[in-house]
Amino acid sequence: MSIDQIISQAVANAVENLYGVTVDPASVNPQATRKEFEGNLTVMVFPWVKAARKAPEAVGTEIGQYLVENEPAVAAFNVVKGFLNIVITPSYWNSVLSAIADDENFGTSPVTENSPLVMVEYSSPNTNKPLHLGHLRNILLGASLSAILKACGNNVVRTNIVNDRGIHICKSMLAWQRWFNGATPESSGIKGDHLVGDCYVAFDRHYKEELAELQAKGMTEEQAKEASTLMADARAMLRAWEEGDPQVRQLWEMMNNWVYAGFDTTYQRMGVGFDKIYYESKTYLDGKAKVLEGLEKGVLERREDGSVWADLSADGLDSKLLLRSDGTSVYMTQDIGTAKQRFDDYAIDKMIYVVGNEQNYHFQVLSILLDRLGFSWGKSLVHFSYGMVELPEGKMKSREGTVVDADDLMAEMVNNAREVSAELGKLDGLSEKEIADIAETVGMGALKYFLLKVDPRKNMTFNPKESIDFNGNTGPFIQYTYARIRSVLRRAEEAGYSHDNFDEVVPNEREIALIQRLNDFPSVVAEAGRNYSPALIANYAYDLVKEYNQFYHDCPILREENKELRSMRLTLSNVTARTVKTAMGLLGINVPERM
């Protein structure tokens, strides 16, 4: 039983004995005491004030006195208004440390056959361009959230929907036909997704030139768009694709395969993957069928031009187009079809969509429509809505080719990590392979940590130079501390020092602070799962290594002559390293053994 559970049970006993009120210990939620007050754990006593018929301060005092008299783990207490601050008996922290050390899976919960099945959708790229910085935040949030939810005891299915059809795809296809002279990834030396992205940019450039020419002849912008032959040809290609034209389908398949190969390379370097991938080209027909089924049931309506709509006025929204007048589908239709396939494939208990906050309305509508169309989890679907990421220079635009490609950014981060590590002397004496491995680990760790440490619901600016800093709230700072701890443990092992016998040691204030920070880890993981926030894990890891560095500065480890005290400090170091590795692993970040 953890110290939190012991205090929760003791408080529940106190309330029952003092006031005759039965309390579920699980409802008592001790929190770390704020630094300005004396104590280790704090319990709010307001829930029992009414039953006690006393002021909050009096209730806190009576419960505190009960705990001191009846619970050996409690040494003292103080009350601030309705908050009971509890001081844990110093010697008791030894048992807390021992319990953490004995639990190899500390902080995580096992997945069982009765665990809820949670599906997490992330990435969701279009096959007309490579993955970019915006995708990176999406993918890293989705992958980390999946790991956190699994650590909370859920059965997690990681899924991806690839938007591999539509007018945007046809734009790239048309541009390749007209201006790329049969170029392939092999003949051009350009990664497949980058080559197709170049085609997309080329289409936009030629389209803008055509509009400018038409407007120069006296047309308005709208008239020019109507008269554009280039856009008309792209729309004609989309109709041909939907009609199954073999030549269009062959070109589409070839170019998509180039993109898939490029995506796979990028995903591999990022260290992410999926359990199931869906493709819009294979889900949109199911979506159309489901929409037509809803039309027959009267939950949708067909207008005079043949288009199909959902009237959402009863839900305080407007009407939503689901099928165009020519029968072609929209993104919402595809999402309905994908939902159907997923529901057929898995017994989903909760569906989480990791999609930017510009799609808030879309998912509000999707939830209503799925519920109307009979999906049991429709109303409870979760849109994990995250903020946009920009560079210091500002926003990025795919059509204009001003995005920062994920591949280029990752390569830059690894190069920066190598340069900074070399300047600081952290690569001295290492082989070329060791240097390359550390640069990859640190560079990717810096990138991931910087993108994940911010509250996902907030917009953010990604600054590559700041992220590589070996000081402050950065991935490299945490990685370096981990490597320092591992170095201490290796030297201890070489010296034959053990770290398993410290029963008689009474931890000092600095050691207690570190043990308590370690003790917080399970509750942080649980909270991160409830709030869908990898940032909580990231900032916990930073706080933990800061606490360790203060301990390391103030408390000799290898130079300590008292064997039991040295053993306790080595155990503290070992458990800290293990917890840092687990926490960073939940963010998808590796930690180096040497640095």
In tens, the pLDDT along 230-266 reads 999 999 999 999 899 999 999 999 999 999 999 999 9
Strands (E), 284-330: 301-302, 308-311, 319-323
Q: Are 586 and 537 in contact (CB under 8 A)?
A: yes
pTM: 0.91
Q: Are 241 and 253 in contact (CB under 8 A)?
A: no
Q: Are 567 and 497 in contact (CB under 8 A)?
A: yes
Q: What is the pLDDT of residues 304-321, one digit of tens each?
A: 999 999 999 999 999 999
Neighbours of 435 (CB within 10 A): 16
Q: So what's the pLDDT on residue 401?
A: 46
Polymer length in residues for the chain: 595
Q: So what's the pLDDT on residue 134?
A: 87
Q: What is the DSSP letter of 306?
A: S
Whole-angstrom distance, CA of residue 530 vs CA of residue 112:
19
Q: What is the DSSP letter of 453?
A: S
Q: What is the pLDDT of residues 532-555, one digit of tens each?
A: 999 999 999 999 999 999 999 999
Cα dihedral 36, 42, 45, 46 sign:
positive
Domains and CATH numbers, the chain: 3-88 (3.30.1360.70), 165-274 (no CATH), 407-586 (1.10.730.10)
Whole-angstrom distance, CA of residue 541 vs CA of residue 523:
13
- Those residues of the chain that have pLDDT short of 50 are 395-401
